[in-house]
Chain A
Amino acid sequence: EAGVAQSPRYKIIEKRQSVAFWCNPISGHATLYWYQQILGQGPKLLIQFQNNGVVDDSQLPKDRFSAERLKGVDSTLKIQPAKLEDSAVYLCASSLTGTSSGEGSNEQFFGPGTRLTVL
């Protein structure tokens, strides 16, 4: 079974530029998550989708970050304009559901991440 796919793996941009990341979740997984991991810290949730609807974007800096999951499968995360403090690894994860409605149904699986450096 294929895992969560992400691209690109690495991106270097200058501040005030824009950047976009792509994620393809595990087939059949309804719930998709974007996390930000700053060096030396644990990942923190940016946004969570259930199918193509947003269920939690409380930690997303909406003045510069946006995300969409138009057909309930792939998702893109965009930053415009980027700041130096956005340098981090952006991780995408997916799960069958967002709740524990069945054994392991809310277990999350992570992609390899995109390492963003903002100069």
Chain B
Amino acid sequence: GIQVEQSPPDLILQEGANSTLRCNFSDSVNNLQWFHQNPWGQLINLFYIPSGTKQNGRLSATTVATERYSLLYISSSQTTDSGVYFCAVSNAGGTSYGKLTFGQGTILTVHP
């Protein structure tokens, strides 16, 4: 099946700093989503971005489907940004119909 690798596994920032999270995937995709998992375990949708670039406030994401990677940018980080960030993809050519395969996540800690 499709492989998803996220980097870095852990990231510690001071409030106000910028950061870039990366997601590499091993095959073509028809869905790529970025999630933030809050301390209560809820997965919050950040972006649906199988290709192209999107921005939402301090967050933006870019997926280069032909090169099989996606980037999540967080600018002017805040303590509330802390948590685990997951990239998840659905394989365009796979036999699994819509199934999301998740990376291992990036644990972000923002200190005041």
Contact = CB atoms under 8 A, between A and B. Distances in A.
Interface residues of B, number: 26
Interface stretch (B10-18, B43-51, B65-73): B43-51
Contacts, number: 74
A107 B98 contact: no
Identify which of B40, B100, B103 gathers the most chain A CB atoms within 10 Å of its CB: B100
A71 B12 CA distance: 47
Contacts of B50: 100
Contact residues on A (Cβ < 8 Å of other chain), bracket: 20 to 34
B43 A45 contact: no
Interface of B: 4, 30-31, 33, 35, 40-43, 45, 48, 50, 86, 88, 90, 92, 96-105
Interface of A: 31, 33, 35, 37, 41-45, 48, 50, 55-56, 58, 89, 91, 93, 95, 97-100, 104, 106-110, 112-113, 115
